[in-house]
Each structure stands twice: as structure tokens, then as C-alpha cells.
Chains A and B, each alone.
Chain A
Amino acid sequence: MTAGTARDDNLTLYRLGAWLIAHRLSISLVTLMLTAYMGYNTMQVGMTTRFADLLPYQHPFIQVHTKYAEQFGGANNITIMIEAQKGTVFTIPILTKIFEITQIVDTLPGVNHDQIESIGHRSTRYLKVLAGTVSTPPVMRRAPTSDADVAEIRTIVHHSDNLRGKLVALDEGAALIRANFIEGQIDYRKIFDETNAKIIGPYDRDDVHIYVAGEPRLYGWIYHYTGEVVPIFFASAAIMWILLYLYFKDWRGALRPTITGAVSALWGLGFMHLMGYALDPLALVIPFFVTARAVSHSVQMHDRYYEEYHLNGWNKTDAIIASFAGLFVPTLSGIIADVLGMLAIIMVPVVILQRMAASASVWVASIAISELLLNPIVYYYLKPPDKRRVLARESGLFQGALGVASSYIVGPRGAYVTVAVWAALVIAAGSQLRHLTIGDPTAASPLLRLDSPYNQAHLRIQQKFGGVEPLIVIVEGTEKNALKAPEVLETMESFQRYMEQDPDVGYSFSLADSVRAIQMTFYDLQPRWGVIPDDTRRISSLFFYFFASAPPSETAKYCDPAFMNSHVTFFCKNHQGDDVKRLIDRARTFINEHPMAKAHFRLAGGLIGVTAGANEEILRNDLLMNIMGFGTIFIILLFTYRSFVAAVLMLLGLVMANVLVNAYMGWRNIGINLQSLPIVTVGVGFGIDYGLYVVSRAVELYREDADLTRAVRNALVSAGKAVTFTALSLTSSTLIWYFSQIRFDAEMGLLLALWMAVSFAASVTLLPAIIVLVRPRFIIREAERTAMKPELPELRFQARG
């Protein structure tokens, strides 16, 4: 590239700034109208979350899950435990409560009426052989009225392997009601409210405690907590305003970033509604950070404007155009980096992430509207700042401290010390990396805090029943009546016993258990008959007795009417990443070693199955996200500075941030899950800005004074000042999210704050130190391209008129 075109580049920017001011009225009118339209759409954005949207739809596990979820139960299970305060549940009042609650569960919105399991539900039947006749009445037809009724129910439970330990705890101190909800008809908020109003409210007292767990309940709690987002949002906005006022010492400084933040938010949210998307309460923290980006960019601009106002002899228009031209490249690069980082997330085949990526990238892109289009116009309409305030900001404690620190960092000893300190940090962080896990590292839900009522209920049920999180393995027959073959049932049962050797499996259930229980009941409740018959005819007749007197809709949860497809369900103690991986590996080993002639196993549904699918997808996409995140930034840097060295040097800070944040995740036991996957690409986009502003300023300063060390030092004092302020204010206002009841938002807030803090620290210490030590040629080359401001007096004149 010749020097001539380089000059033209910058000249163009000055002209653009002047042009914008000249056409300020029409531009602002058009933008205002468009923004008003987007604002109208913003008002209509709803808030929903769908479990299915969280799943990587291309993964084979998820496809199996989707295919069979309605028949054999999916991940949308609610588990209600009714625990007796003392003694057992076999009393008239407690059995009555179990019966009544079961009927209420059957009326919850979206419930799958054939997928309710409870000793109080009509579909929970047992085989009754009386004087030669066989029938399958429900365990409880009505609430018990006498001790004899209670004794009868208790005896049935004692002799039913499919009830004892499964719907009634082995110590008989608690009973479970498990209900499946139909995907697509499920309304988490309604289920939550109705469960509270109709079940917990009236029944959780005196003799029983009621605990509710399961994904629909979890999401209900999340909606319940979303109300807190409003105070958090206003608290962080208030902190931001106060800090901005303290920093700029006038109201314009607080107003300008607010305009940018508001305009981009309207565009982002408006776009979301136009695309038919809705806000997900789990991803609320992401829009907040996009707004934070907007504010960060405008603080840079505002700071530069004040500086230029003084440099340009208190001429407002000159100052506006000079700051516009000076920051155009770093601002645009920063925005493009953010947008590409967000867009990269689209490659993860998970609906919620793809939608978030699409809307967040538009949102970020719209920062350009207020920063690069409206910016000069807004300043033009605003009164110029008070000269004394501008001068006062150029000295003072903050400025002084920054000067001393900057001199040390670029000093002969300081540079080496800085690099050494960072190297030590990375080594320390490296030791924590091995603790990093895929998936949830805790047994409870990572979305909520450990001591939340939900997680407490979850743990209590876990203690009492050994496992509540299903792993559903489908058994697909190759012909009709395949399930009547002893070989198939025996293999299903061996599979259960094999998997139960894993400490994470609490218990399991399959058609094989039913066959055993039916045969035992058929022969005088003699447990020695509780085996799978060794010939197909006997199995057929057992099925006939059991299934013939129950409606097909109720038996569908065991197998299909053609006896081809069924399932083995393992109830697991937790869904920690490592455990899920081990369970799936174990299942695969068994399946490979036990091929069946008439059927085959297919992985995997239920919460554990879809978590396994998601984790495998995360593993694949985590690397992809890292490559995409760092790769796009690398290319942007390459184009911005036309230098390989520049790109590598500036990525250093981001790499540091990535290593330290990962180390923090390992240390604090935060797993990489679908929700935390975007952090790296979002963080890379955020982190690069600081480096862009500092290096761009160093290049400008080097042009005026060809001493690299001094140029870097002064860049740190000037651009570094705004960078320091932005980082401090953003970090402190994002830390407010730490108080969120939604652990996911709280932890993401913390992680992104950490990302920003580390990449900021690296940009103002490590980056300048290395530049001073390495003395890269690109700064000198770039400085030659940008030296032209004094050659444009006539332009300033034009613009003013």
C-alpha cells in the first residue's frame, strides 16, 4: 500500500465526520424513525424458555429422545415426593394425601395423562389372582377409609417389585409421584404456580413434607427469579451512571453512553421480536453485556472528545471530527470483532444459542449506529463541556497514579518484571486447568444456587430414593413380538444389573421388571417365581393377563401394542459431566458386548441421555468456539494493523484471560456447559477492545514523537485512562449480577467480569511491556500512514459552516 492511499484513508474519515455533521438533521430524523420502529417491536418481546431449545438437535441421542419422549417419558419430568414426618406413609391421612395430590397432578396443564406414576394413579396397576380369576385393578381406586384398606395397599406394595423402592421408598417413609409433560404444551410458569397453589400450599403441613424437583419445576423457579433482573439491571445502571459522572465530572459524560446503550438495546430487542424470538431468562446476562459493550465504546469516544477539545483550541467542531477520525478504526474493529464473535456461536447446533447469536450480533452491530453515525451529530447538538472541568481532568490523583504506573511498566526493569509476573500467573493457572470438566460438575442444578429451595428438594429426594434423573435407553425390536423373546428380556435385565454396578445409578426399571413382578403375582406372590420365564409362550400369556385388562394408553409406557419397542430407564443420582460420560461409556460397552437377535438398544433419552448428547456436542464445539473466537480476532487484527506480529501480540492478553478464566472455572468447579460455551467468543470480542484503543493511540503518538517507549507510555496515560475507567466501571457493575438467585447468571456475570478484568490488565501492562521489549516494526509503519491531521485546515472550516 502506498503512502498516498493511506493518507486518503484518513482524509476520508475527516470528510465523513464533516459530512455527517452537515447532514445532521436528515440523518438524525431517519435514525430516530427507524429507532422508534425498533422500539415499538422491543415493547413486544416476550420471555420464554423451552427445554427442547437447549438441546443439540443434530446429535443422535437427541433424535432418539425426541422420537420416543412422548411414549416412554422424556426430560420434562416432575417428581413430587411426599415424605411422612414420622413413621411410614401407610396411614389413612397420608395415603389420602398421596391419592388427592395424584389426582391434582393429573389436572396440571400439559401433563401427559398416561405418563403419571404414583401408587395413587389409575394407571399404576397390579395383577390380582383370586380363586382362579385374573384382574389388574389400580393399586388405589380411591382414598383408603379403613385400616384394612391401608393394610391391603401396603401388602400390594410389599409384593410389587415395580413399586417398592420406586414409587414408595424402601423404608416406606416417602412416596413419589412422577409426571411427564408433553413437549410443546408445557408452560413452566403455570405448572409452577399451580403446583404451589394446589399441592404445596394445601398439603405441605403437619404430617407430611412435599418436595418437588424435575426440569419443569426448575424452569418454574427460574421464571420466578427473573423478577429480580429488574433491580439488578437498575442497580448496575445506577453504578455505571455514578461512576461516569465522577469520571467526566459533568452530566454529558453520563448521558452520551446512555444514548448509545439505549439505541442499541432497542435495535437488538426489536430485531429479536421481528425474527420471532423471545428473551430466555437464562441468557439475560448476555444482552446486559452487549449493553455494557456499547457503553464501553462511547466512554472511549467521550474521553477522546474532551481531550481533542483542549488540543483543538476549544473548537467544538474540530474536536468532534478529530475524535471521530481518531477512533473510527479501533471502534469499528472492536464492533466487527464483537459481531463475528457472536456470529460464530451460530455454528453450535443448539436453538437457544443460535437465536441468541443472531440477535446479539445485530445488537452489537447497532452500536455502530450510535457510535459512528450519530456520535458527531449528538456532540454537535450538545453544548461543549466546561473548559475548567476538562483541564481539571488532565491532572489529579487518578491521572497522576496512571502516569507513575505507566512509566514503570514501560521502564527498563518494569517491562521485564511485568512479563515475569504474567508468566508466573499463567503457570499458576495451568495447575487448575485439569479440574475443568465438561457438563455440570455438581449433583444439583447448576442453574440455581446450591442452597436454593429447588436444589434442596432435589437432594432430599435423591437421599430418599437414590436417584431421580432418568437415563432412558430404547429397546427397538426388529420384528413384532420381539419383546416376548426371553433373550431380549434377559438382556434388558442384565443391562440393568450391569449399569447398577455404577455408583451413580440409584435403581432402574424395564419391562423385564414387570414380567418378573407379574409372574410372581401370578404364582401366589412367591418371590421365587420372580424370574423371567425361559420360553416365549409363557411370557406371552403373562403379557396377556397383565395388559389385556388395562387400556392401551396406560400400557404404552411399558411398550408399544406390537411388543416391538420398549425401554430401560436408569434413575441416576446426578448429571455431573464425568459421571454422565462414564455411564454412557458403560452402556456402550454392554451394548457392544451383548448383541441381540431380535432387538437392539439405542442411546439415549431422559435428562441423562440429553445431557450426554449435549456434553458430547459441547466437547466438539468448545474447540470450535475457541478456534472461531481467536481465529476471527486474529484475522481482524491482521487486517487492522497489516502485521502478523501485531495480531499475535494483541491476542496475548486474550489468551491470558482465557487461561485465567478457565482456571477459575476449574477452581470453582464451574463446568463447561451449553450455556457457558459462548463465553469464550463473547469474551474475546470484549477483551480485544482495550488492546485496540491502547495500540492505536501508541501509533498516533509515535507519529508525533518518534520515541517508542515514550509513545507507549503516553498512550497508556491518555487512551489507557479511558480504558482503565471503562474496565473498572464495567467490572464493578457486572459484579452486581453475582447477587442473582439464578446461579447461571451469577456465575456468567462473574466469568465475564473476570474476562474483562484480566484482558484489561493484560492490555495495559503485558501488552505495552512486550511492545517496548520487542519494538515491533508495525507501529512505526502504521504511524507513517496516519500522520496527516495538520494538512486539513480547509476541511475544518467547511465543517464549521
Chain B
Amino acid sequence: MKARALAVGLLFVAVVTRSWEASAVTPPEERPARITAADRFFDIKAAGERVFVTVGYKGRIVRTEDGGTNWREVQSPTTAALLRLCFVDAEYGWAVGHQGVVLHTQDGGKSWQAQKSGTPVALFAVSCIDRLHAFAVGDSSTFLRSQDGGRSWEVRQVPLSLAGIREDMTLAISDTIYYGMHFVDARSGWIVGEYGNIRHTTDGGETWDSEHASLLGGAIRDAMDLPAFFDVRVTGSSAVAVGGQGKIAVSKDGGQTWRFVNEGRRGSDALYEITAIPAGGLLLVGGGGFIARGADDSWQAAAVPQGVYGWLAGADVAASGNGFVVGSDGILLQTQDFGKTWTTATWRGGSTP
């Protein structure tokens, strides 16, 4: 009888074990958020010496407090793509993005609050002077300014520049997109955008000059043939604008006259951002994994790790020489020598690409 029970038991066990073992499925583990090759970051800025904040697609905000050793995901009030950042000091800063999103921080990017921008259009650039004065610019010639730390934003329209525009085209390009801006104080600033537009204001955005007129004449007569400019940077009397097809335009007279420089770089990938290097000079980043250092008409390509060919959209270097570049494919590059050489960094803590 014992044997009989044993036999039946064994049969049962054998038949059932196989099926049971097979159906004992491990539950879907929730892993910590990772940064993958599908992630895109559009800008990174330092808030003080050790803190860097990067923003990107779907309102993503990632932050480090220890110079890039560990990265943490920050709660974001939006799912709209965040495109640009600025910090006035280690605590106050703004971020702007699609759907007219303006975010504000008062704790170095640890927490963000949405501000009412009063516009639904995409905002491509932001520039902040102090804790009260900030500006933004974007789609449909939209220009924003605040004089109360962003509690209220004034929405204005940048009038169309007629420089180099044929009469019959004015209707078609009535709403120039502005991609880049740099305000040097609360009154004086530059904005750049489509059709080679380089506009300058000296009255906080009431009126605008058309400085790109100086680029016309000679080979280029029509503004439609000018590249789109994506960023502008002014240091004293020397100014630089970069844009589509890798074009670099410089001015040595505070923006009065501009000319294209022969940048002497391969291909024709666009340049997306200009950042000031604390030790002096500027940093350019662009498509095809391109980084360059220099000023005015002298630019040298930086040493970028092999195999980085995605677009680079944002960069910043802190006073210590420690800096980062972000872009497509979850790319994170780090420099320790003010941008001369770059290595691939890992998103440790929040992530691994």
C-alpha cells in the first residue's frame, strides 16, 4: 500500500512539477529609470560649481550635485520637451520648452514650478540677467520678458525684419522662428533665428535692429539663402552666431557688422549652441558629435571620443574646468580641462546608457 501511494505520488509530482515550474514566472521587475539611446537632452547648465542640471524630451530633468558622479531624476511639472536652461546664480534659474512652458527654480534645480508664460508656442531660448530680469524667445516671433522674477511674463511680437526679403515673400515668412538669444544686461540683447535673422535690442525688447543686413551683399542677396542661426553669444565687442550647415558668423564691433568665417570643418552639420568657457573663449556644439573651442575667427575641433556621431545640443563648463555636453542617444560627454578633451561619461545613479 505504501508503495502504491509512493508510485501515485511520484507520477503526480512528475507531471505537475514540469508544468508548475514552467508557469512560475518572475514578476515584471520595475527597474530604476534608465537613460537609454532613445533619450534626448537639449541643454545642460551649471548652477554653481558642482551642480549641473540637464533638461530634455518629455520634460525630463536630470541633476547632479557632485560634479557628475551621480545623476538623479528630478520631478518635472511638465511632459512638454524642455529646450533651454539658464541660471543667474547657484539657486535661481529658468527652463523653457514646447507649448509655452516656463519653469522656475529657486533651489538650484532641485524643484521646479511652472510659471504662466501667456503663450502656447514653443520657446527655444531663455536668458536671465538676475533674479528679477529674464527673457525668452521662440516660435512665431514670440518674445517674452519678465521684470519680477517670472511672476508675470509679458508676451511681445518681434516685428518682421525686411532685410533681404523680397516684397512677395513677406507674407510667407511673417512669423520668423527665433532659436537663440543672449542678453548682456536688462536692456541690451541679441536674438537669432530663421533666414539669418540677427536682431539686437538696446531697450529691453521694445525695438529691434536687423544686424544681419550686413551679411547680405556679395554672394548672398536674399535672406532666404542665409542659414538659420541657432545661437548667439556676445562678449564685449566680439559677437558670434552659429547655425544651420555649420555656419559661423562673427562681429568684432559689438554687432554692427557681421561676416561668415571659414570654419574649415568637415561636412555641413549644424551648430546648435555656444557656451562661454570660464577660462576664456567659447565652446560650440553641433551635429555629428562636433565640439569646437575658440573665439572670433579661430576655432579648433576638440578631441571627442570615437564613435560619437549623434547631435550635441547643450554644453556648459564650470569654473573648475569640469563640464558636460548632452545631446541625442543619451549622449553624456565630460571634460576636465575646459573643453579641450572629452570622454564618454556614464549616467551613474539615475541611469546607464
Set of chain A residues within 8 Å of B269, measured between Cβ atoms: 155, 158-159
- From A434, A437, A524, A658, B14 is in contact (CB under 8 Å) with A658
User: Contact string, A322-342, partner B, CB cutoff 8 A, digits 1/0?
Assistant: 000000000000000000000
Contact status B31-A630, CB under 8 Å: no
Shortest distance between the CB of B202 and any CB in chain A (Å):
27
Alpha-carbon distance between A662 and B14 when the two chains are bound, in angstroms: 9
Q: A651 near B: Cβ within 8 Å? A: yes
In addition to A527-B311, A534-B99, A623-B18, 20 A-B residue pairs with Cβ atoms within 8 Å of each other are A131-B225, A159-B269, A164-B328, A164-B329, A170-B37, A171-B308, A434-B21, A437-B22, A466-B37, A497-B38, A525-B270, A526-B124, A529-B122, A627-B15, A630-B15, A648-B7, A652-B11, A658-B15, A659-B13, A662-B17
- From A622, A649, A652, B22 is in contact (CB under 8 Å) with A622
Shortest distance between the CB of A709 and any CB in chain B (Å):
16
User: Contact string, A425-463, partner B, CB cutoff 8 A, digits 1/0?
Assistant: 010001001101110000000000000000000000000
Identify which of residues 513-531 in chain A touch chain B, using a CB-to-CB cut-off of 8 Å. Answer: 523-531
Identify which of residues 571-606 in chain A touch chain B, using a CB-to-CB cut-off of 8 Å. Answer: 578, 581-582, 585-586, 589
Alpha-carbon distance between A165 and B311 when the two chains are bound, in angstroms: 12
Contact status B272-A526, CB under 8 Å: yes
User: Contact string, B207-241, partner A, CB cutoff 8 A, digits 1/0?
Assistant: 00000000000000000110110100000000000
- From A155, A526, A659, B179 is in contact (CB under 8 Å) with A526
Number of A-B contacts (CB under 8 A): 171
Contact status B22-A619, CB under 8 Å: yes
Query: 8 closest A-B pairs (Cβ-Cβ)?
Result: A171-B307, A524-B228, A623-B19, A655-B14, A648-B7, A151-B267, A158-B288, A774-B3
Q: Which of B14, B18, B268, B328 has the most CB of A within 10 A?
A: B14
Contact status B224-A132, CB under 8 Å: yes
Q: A384 near B: Cβ within 8 Å? A: no
Alpha-carbon distance between A466 and B36 when the two chains are bound, in angstroms: 11
Shortest distance between the CB of B227 and any CB in chain A (Å):
8
Set of chain A residues within 8 Å of B124, measured between Cβ atoms: 526, 528
Alpha-carbon distance between A674 and B137 when the two chains are bound, in angstroms: 60
Set of chain A residues within 8 Å of B287, measured between Cβ atoms: 155, 158-159, 525
- From A132, A154, A161, A433, B18 is in contact (CB under 8 Å) with A433
User: Contact string, B323-342, partner A, CB cutoff 8 A, digits 1/0?
Assistant: 00001110000000000000
Contact status A500-B15, CB under 8 Å: no
Q: A469 near B: Cβ within 8 Å? A: no
Set of chain B residues within 8 Å of A501, measured between Cβ atoms: 31, 33-34, 36
Shortest distance between the CB of A424 and any CB in chain B (Å):
13
Shortest distance between the CB of A261 and any CB in chain B (Å):
31
Set of chain A residues within 8 Å of B8, measured between Cβ atoms: 648
Contact status A652-B194, CB under 8 Å: no
Contact status B309-A528, CB under 8 Å: no
Q: A626 near B: Cβ within 8 Å? A: yes
Nearest-CB residue, chain B, relative to A657: B14
Alpha-carbon distance between A662 and B8 when the two chains are bound, in angstroms: 19
Q: How large is the interface on A (under 10, 10 to 19, 20 to 34, 35 or more residues)?
A: 35 or more
Shortest distance between the CB of B212 and any CB in chain A (Å):
15
Set of chain B residues within 8 Å of A627, measured between Cβ atoms: 15
Shortest distance between the CB of A460 and any CB in chain B (Å):
16
Q: Contacts A155-B267, A497-B58 known; A531 to B98 CB distance under 8 Å?
A: yes
Set of chain B residues within 8 Å of A526, measured between Cβ atoms: 124, 179, 228, 230, 244, 270, 272
Contact status B313-A496, CB under 8 Å: no
Set of chain A residues within 8 Å of B306, measured between Cβ atoms: 171
Write 20 A-B pairs (CB below 8 A) sorted by A numbering.
A151-B268, A155-B268, A159-B270, A159-B311, A164-B328, A171-B306, A426-B10, A436-B18, A500-B36, A507-B38, A524-B194, A527-B40, A527-B42, A531-B80, A578-B26, A619-B19, A626-B15, A626-B18, A651-B7, A655-B10
Set of chain B residues within 8 Å of A630, measured between Cβ atoms: 11, 15
Q: B171 near A: Cβ within 8 Å? A: no
User: Contact string, B283-309, partner A, CB cutoff 8 A, digits 1/0?
Assistant: 000011000000000000000001111
- From A158, A173, A430, A589, B311 is in contact (CB under 8 Å) with A158
Q: Contacts A132-B172, A527-B42 known; A165 to B329 CB distance under 8 Å?
A: yes
Set of chain A residues within 8 Å of B194, measured between Cβ atoms: 524
- From B3, B28, B37, A585 is in contact (CB under 8 Å) with B28
- From B25, B122, B267, A581 is in contact (CB under 8 Å) with B25
Set of chain A residues within 8 Å of B179, measured between Cβ atoms: 526, 528
Shortest distance between the CB of B321 and any CB in chain A (Å):
27
Nearest-CB residue, chain A, relative to B266: A151
Contact status A586-B38, CB under 8 Å: no
Nearest-CB residue, chain A, relative to B27: A585
Set of chain A residues within 8 Å of B230, measured between Cβ atoms: 524, 526
Contact status A170-B309, CB under 8 Å: yes
Q: Is the interface of B mostly helix, strand, loop or mixed?
A: mixed
Identify which of residues 32-71 in chain B touch chain A, using a CB-to-CB cut-off of 8 Å. Answer: 33-34, 36-38, 40, 42, 57-58
Set of chain B residues within 8 Å of A622, measured between Cβ atoms: 18-19, 22
Identify which of residues 176-222 in chain B touch chain A, using a CB-to-CB cut-off of 8 Å. Answer: 177, 179, 194
Q: A303 near B: Cβ within 8 Å? A: no
User: Contact string, A549-577, partner B, CB cutoff 8 A, digits 1/0?
Assistant: 00000000000000000000000000000
Set of chain B residues within 8 Å of A585, measured between Cβ atoms: 25, 28
Shortest distance between the CB of A513 and any CB in chain B (Å):
9
Nearest-CB residue, chain B, relative to A437: B22
Q: Which of A155, A165, A437 has the most CB of B within 10 A?
A: A155
Contact status B288-A154, CB under 8 Å: yes
Q: Which of B34, B36, B38, B266 has the most CB of A within 10 A?
A: B38
Contact status A172-B19, CB under 8 Å: no
Q: Contacts A155-B268, A589-B28 known; A436 to B15 CB distance under 8 Å?
A: no
Alpha-carbon distance between A531 and B13 when the two chains are bound, in angstroms: 56
User: Contact string, A23-39, partner B, CB cutoff 8 A, digits 1/0?
Assistant: 00000000000000000
Q: Which of B17, B26, B243, B313 has the most CB of A within 10 A?
A: B17
Q: A260 near B: Cβ within 8 Å? A: no
Contact status A651-B309, CB under 8 Å: no
Contact status A531-B57, CB under 8 Å: yes
Alpha-carbon distance between A524 and B243 when the two chains are bound, in angstroms: 9
Set of chain B residues within 8 Å of A321, measured between Cβ atoms: none
Contact status B244-A524, CB under 8 Å: yes
Alpha-carbon distance between A508 and B38 when the two chains are bound, in angstroms: 8
Q: A773 near B: Cβ within 8 Å? A: yes
Contact status B42-A528, CB under 8 Å: yes
Shortest distance between the CB of A681 and any CB in chain B (Å):
12
Set of chain B residues within 8 Å of A645, measured between Cβ atoms: 4
Shortest distance between the CB of A216 and any CB in chain B (Å):
28
Q: Which of B21, B307, B329 has the most CB of A within 10 A?
A: B21
Set of chain A residues within 8 Å of B42, measured between Cβ atoms: 527-528
Nearest-CB residue, chain A, relative to B228: A524
Alpha-carbon distance between A72 and B202 when the two chains are bound, in angstroms: 56
Q: A167 near B: Cβ within 8 Å? A: no
Shortest distance between the CB of A465 and any CB in chain B (Å):
10
Shortest distance between the CB of B169 and any CB in chain A (Å):
8
Nearest-CB residue, chain B, relative to A154: B267
Alpha-carbon distance between A694 and B19 when the two chains are bound, in angstroms: 31
Nearest-CB residue, chain A, relative to B83: A528
Alpha-carbon distance between A231 and B244 when the two chains are bound, in angstroms: 66
Nearest-CB residue, chain B, relative to A147: B266
Q: A278 near B: Cβ within 8 Å? A: no
Q: Which of B224, B270, B327 has the most CB of A within 10 A?
A: B270
Q: B81 near A: Cβ within 8 Å? A: yes
Nearest-CB residue, chain B, relative to A88: B309
Q: B310 near A: Cβ within 8 Å? A: yes
Nearest-CB residue, chain B, relative to A422: B10
Shortest distance between the CB of A347 and any CB in chain B (Å):
15
Q: Which of A152, A426, A437, A659 has the most CB of B within 10 A?
A: A659
Q: A94 near B: Cβ within 8 Å? A: no
Nearest-CB residue, chain A, relative to B243: A524
User: Contact string, A479-506, partner B, CB cutoff 8 A, digits 1/0?
Assistant: 0000000000000000011001111000
Shortest distance between the CB of A79 and any CB in chain B (Å):
18
Alpha-carbon distance between A529 and B244 when the two chains are bound, in angstroms: 14
